[in-house]
Amino acid sequence: MDAVRIVEDEVRELIRRRGLDPLRQAGEVRRLVEAAVSDYDERALMGPLPPIGPLEAARRFVFDAVAGFGVLQPLLDDPTIEEVWINAPNEIYVARNGESELTSLSLTDQQVRDLVERMLKSS
């Protein structure tokens, strides 16, 4: 398991234990993510944990995973993208200027289930 996934799991557990709603308490979740990434980075410097890489990228990935729509969040935030659709976990398309294009993104089955659950919860 890579470093960012380890931190993601740690943050999910903290959210669960504290009873936070990531959609309604995004500020508090963001603070948890920032603290967890910094803490992990310090632990990785002291021990056998894999390095986490650029901290800002790790923070964004973890926050998007726990409070947004995961790997799809950058697509949803991109003002040039008009539409996003998933035909299969490894077949994610976007539309820009009326033209569809296949992305290089892929999801696990669990990520698809989590996304559907999160989308239904927010509607």
Over residues 67-112, the pLDDT tens digits come to 999 999 999 999 999 999 999 999 999 999 999 999 999 999 888 8
Regarding predicted confidence, which is higher, 1 or 26? 26
The CA dihedral of 38, 22, 118, 109, to the nearest 10 degrees, is 20
Q: Are residues 92 and 61 in the same domain?
A: no
| Residue 94, amino acid | V
Q: Are residues 81 and 61 in the same domain?
A: no
Question: Rounded to an integer, what distance in angstroms lies between the CA atom of residue 111 and that of residue 104?
Answer: 16
Question: Rounded to an integer, what distance in angstroms lies between the CA atom of residue 58 and that of residue 50?
Answer: 13
pLDDT at 15 over 90: yes
Q: Are residues 38 and 94 in the same domain?
A: no
On whether the CB atoms of residues 101 and 94 are closer than 8 A, the answer is yes
Q: Are residues 55 and 85 in the same domain?
A: no
User: Range of 79's domain?
Assistant: 72-122
Which pLDDT value is given to residue 118?
84
Over residues 32-78, the pLDDT tens digits come to 999 999 999 999 999 899 999 999 999 999 999 999 999 999 999 99
